[in-house]
Chain A
Amino acid sequence: MHEARTPTAEVRASSCPGLSTCKYSLAYCVRVGDVYQALADPTRRLILDELSDRDGQSLFELCGRLAVRHGIGSSRQAISQHLSVLEDAGLVSSSRSGRTKLLHLHTEPLREIAERWPVDPKD
Chain B
Amino acid sequence: MGIRINLTSVFVDDQAKALAFYTEQLGFLPKTDVPLGEHRWLTVVGPDDPDGTELLLEPDEHPAAKAYTAALVADGIPAASFAVDDVTATHAELTARGVRFTQEPTAMGPVVTAVLDDTCGNLLQLTSPA
Mask for A90-114, Cβ within 8 A of B = 1, else 0?
Answer: 0000000111111000000000000
Could you tell me if B103 and A61 are in contact, using CB atoms closer than 8 angstroms?
yes
Could you tell me if A58 and B103 are in contact, using CB atoms closer than 8 angstroms?
yes
Instruction: Point out residues on A near B: beta carbons under 8 Å.
Output: 54, 57-61, 64-65, 68-69, 76, 97-102
Residue in A57, A64, A65, A99 whose CB lies within 8 Å of B70: A99
Residue in B70, B103, B109 whose CB lies within 8 Å of A60: B103
* Bound-state Cα–Cα, A57 to B103, Å: 7
Could you tell me if B108 and A99 are in contact, using CB atoms closer than 8 angstroms?
no
Question: Taking the nearest CB of chain A, how far is it from the CB of B32, in angstroms?
Answer: 30
Could you tell me if A58 and B106 are in contact, using CB atoms closer than 8 angstroms?
no
* Bound-state Cα–Cα, A69 to B117, Å: 25
Q: Nearest residue in A to B101 (C-beta to C-beta)?
A: A97
Please list 30 pairs of residues, one from A and one from B, whose beta carbons are closer than 8 Å in the complex, sorted by A's number: A54-B106, A57-B103, A58-B75, A58-B76, A58-B77, A58-B102, A59-B76, A59-B77, A60-B76, A60-B78, A60-B123, A61-B76, A61-B102, A61-B103, A61-B115, A64-B108, A68-B108, A97-B102, A98-B73, A98-B102, A99-B70, A99-B73, A99-B74, A100-B74, A100-B76, A100-B102, A100-B117, A101-B74, A101-B75, A101-B76
